[in-house]
Amino acid sequence: MGTALAGPTAGVPQKARRSTGRRLRENLRGYAFVSPWIFSLLVFTAYPMLASFYFAMTDYSVLNPPVWTGLQNFRVMFTKDPLYWKSVYNSAYYALLAVPLQMIVALGLALMLNQRVRGIGVYRTVYYLPSLMPTVAGTLLWMLILNPRHGLLNLGLQAIGLPKLGWLSSATWSKPGLVLMAVWTGSGWIMLIFLAALKEIPESLHEAAMIDGANAWQRFFSVTLPLLTPAIFFNLVMEIIGSFQVFASALIAGGSGQTAGPLNSLLMYMLHLYRYAFRYFDMGYASAMALALFVFLVIITMALVKSSGSWVYYETARR
Amino acid sequence: MSPSAAAGGIALRARRRLFRRITAAAIQHLVLCAAGLLFAIPFLWLVITSLKPLEQVFTDPPTWIPHPVLWSNYVEALTSPAFPFLRLLRNTLFYTVVSTVGVVLSGAIVAYGFARMEFWGRDVLFGITLSTMMLPGVVTLIPTYILFRVFGWVGSYAPLIVPAYFGSAFNIFLLRQFFMTVPWELTDAAKVDGASELRIFWQVMLPLIKPALLVVAVFHFMWAWNDFMGPLIYLDDAGEYPLVLGLYAFQTRHGIKWNLMMAASLAVAFPIIVLFFIAQRYFIEGITLTGLKG
């Protein structure tokens, strides 16, 4: 995103000296244009962020004013709520499986589509179509496909001599089932971003490598892949943040019973949080959960940003 | 080696290369088709199931062609009292359209400020804007809900609409990228003629970036149409539900009638799919212009 950050100042016709009055007017005009967004940043971002620190330290049922309890919520969360750790485990399991799978599938599809193929538009649409499905519709469809007795997937497994799996009705297979769904619905979008990045790689680099006698593999690993790392980095960060906050598919696939999926195997972090916030109206505890996840995601993102220096290739000279 | 043998070798090599290129293309299409099938089959299954009689939903071997083809499933699903399609559609359209107008308007104004104005702290503010794109929604969820509750807006569409009128980071970013591509000469000329900044924005710049406005509108429309958590936490009366919540409620009450549920699912997804096909061209362009390539 390096190029995006460069300011637009370059094209401004510079007047030799500008009076302070004029500069003030210019400033005010600028602020007038961005004022809705400043308001939004303050009210819908900054305030909620600060408030969540406060609410996390309170006992707050919405109906009564919040009561300060210090670190009590965190104490309960980390030591007295076994379901909390269950939800941490479930979300980590889900993210560790879904993120790499989506990335690999999306990258593979993008690489194939980037070759000059006839009918690329048709393929691209087919791969992207699932991303357009509303989560509820997509989840219902996969609940049908993953049906343990006569679902399409199990019939397919049976046809090639593999055992049928329990999928959403089994504590072992429910999360992989949810991941399959995520790969189907989520890869298309990531693929489009990879495809846009691939289109930016100048043909001349490949030709130069070819003249130097590099074969297809060498060209992929020393030309394509390094130039794709910014897109990989971006997708990785966004997918990790998204996967740890997976909610709707788990809520729907988990069923309307007391547990989320068999033995709470689909109790994702956000689902646990949602229950405390909007079913039990324990806003304090839910805020503490939100804060913990936020801090965790910030640490992960920072670590990725820090590591990016050694593996993400930013071409500064280009453009 | 004799010259003729060498020539034959070259011809052979050329033929081999041609052969290799054809097999490569064939393998490529084979892989693309196989992957395409994997992506398309669930979707096909949705369509097929939506046209089946209930007893053909779970059969071994699977029933690929419904007999008879029950178009009436759609009538039954969409007129079922448990899934009041027209009302759900009206609700969805209402808040989706109204919030889309807000996102486009506010996005354009703010993006114009970032792209064409000079003011103190602009680049820092823009940096903050970009970083909020990565802000996990979880950290603002509850305090925002409490805020809207204090306003007395829970149970209405206001929480789903009002924030759109103050801009959203991604759309501001996207529109700014488009504004930056407009040559300065165009606006300088208007400025010389004495046009005000607001007039330049409205009469010169906006018409120039119409495709970008369309991209933002379509992006947001699709996002709002598919949004699940917003309506779930802010609306409590079933009469206000949008399509996605209606579908969810339909499933929890009539979870056994898979054929009707698939018909309803397709009806919910269909408008978005059509919209995508109409706007596809601008879409790809929009993604390229965001500069995500790095």
Query: Comparing B279 with A245, which gets the higher pLDDT?
Result: A245
State pLDDT tens for residues B80-114. Answer: 888 999 999 999 999 999 999 999 999 999 999 99
Residue B5 banded pLDDT, cuts 50, 70, 90: low
Measured in angstroms, the CA of B3 and the nearest CA of chain A are apart by 26
Chain B residues touching residue A33 (CB < 8 angstroms)? 109-110, 112-113, 117, 201
B194-202 contacts at long range (C-beta below 8 A, 24 or more positions apart): B197/A29, B197/B117, B201/A33, B201/B108, B201/B109, B201/B112
pLDDT at A6 (0 to 100): 42
**Lowest pLDDT segment from A71-75, A147-151, B133-137, B184-188:** B184-188
Determine, for residues B229 and A248 on separate chains, whether the beta-carbon distance falls below 8 Å. Answer: yes
Look at residue B11 and tell me whether its pLDDT is greater than 90: no
State residue B292 phi and psi, 5-degree precision.
-65, -10
Look at residue B248 and tell me whether its pLDDT is greater than 60: yes
State pLDDT tens for residues B149-166. Answer: 999 999 999 999 999 999
Domains located in chain A, CATH noted: 81-311 (1.10.3720.10)
Residue with tokens 């759309």: B171
Look at residue B172 and tell me whether its pLDDT is greater than 60: yes
CATH architecture observed for domain B76-289: Orthogonal Bundle (1.10)
Measured in angstroms, the CA of B7 and the nearest CA of chain A are apart by 23
Determine, for residues B117 and A38 on separate chains, whether the beta-carbon distance falls below 8 Å. Answer: no
Measured in angstroms, the CA of B293 and the nearest CA of chain A are apart by 5
State residue A58 phi and psi, 5-degree precision.
-130, 165
Determine, for residues A33 and B117 on separate chains, whether the beta-carbon distance falls below 8 Å. Answer: yes
pLDDT at B47 (0 to 100): 97
Residue A217 Cα distances to A214, A223, B3, B24, angstroms: 8, 10, 34, 14
Q: Which residue of B has its CA nearest to A62?
A: B146
Residues 232-271 of A with CB under 8 A from B: 233-234, 237-238, 241, 244-245, 247-248, 252, 256, 270
Look at residue B254 and tell me whether its pLDDT is greater than 80: no
pLDDT at A166 (0 to 100): 92
pLDDT at B289 (0 to 100): 60
Query: Per the structure block, which two tokens stand in for B115?
Result: 């792209």
Chain A residues touching residue B150 (CB < 8 angstroms)? none
- The pLDDT averaged over each successive group of 10 residues in chain A (319 residues) is 42 56 89 96 96 96 93 96 96 97 94 81 87 94 94 94 94 96 94 88 86 86 90 94 96 88 95 96 96 96 92 65
The one-character DSSP state at B293 is: T
pLDDT at A117 (0 to 100): 73
pLDDT at B293 (0 to 100): 36
Residue B61, C-beta contacts closer than 8 angstroms, at least 6 positions apart: A155, A159
pLDDT at B15 (0 to 100): 85
pLDDT at B3 (0 to 100): 60
Q: Which of B201, B216, B224 is nearest to B285 (CA)?
A: B216
Q: Which residue of A has its CA nearest to B33?
A: A123
Count CB-CB contacts under 10 A for residue A168. 25
Number of CB pairs, chain A paired with chain B, less than 8 A apart: 280
Measured in angstroms, the CA of A80 and the nearest CA of chain B are apart by 22
Mean pLDDT of B217-246: 95
pLDDT at A16 (0 to 100): 47
Q: Which of A242, A243, A247, A249 is nearest to A143 (CA)?
A: A249
Residue B2 banded pLDDT, cuts 50, 70, 90: low
Residue A147 contacts B where some CB pair is shorter than 8 Å: yes
Measured in angstroms, the CA of B115 and the nearest CA of chain A are apart by 6
Query: Per the structure block, which two tokens stand in for A95?
Result: 């993210």
Residue B225, strand partner residues: none
- Helices A283-311 and B138-151 cross at an angle (nearest 10°) of 140
Which helix (H) or strand (E) segment holds residue A67: the answer is strand A67-68
pLDDT at A176 (0 to 100): 97
Residue B50 banded pLDDT, cuts 50, 70, 90: very high
> SS3 for A162?
coil
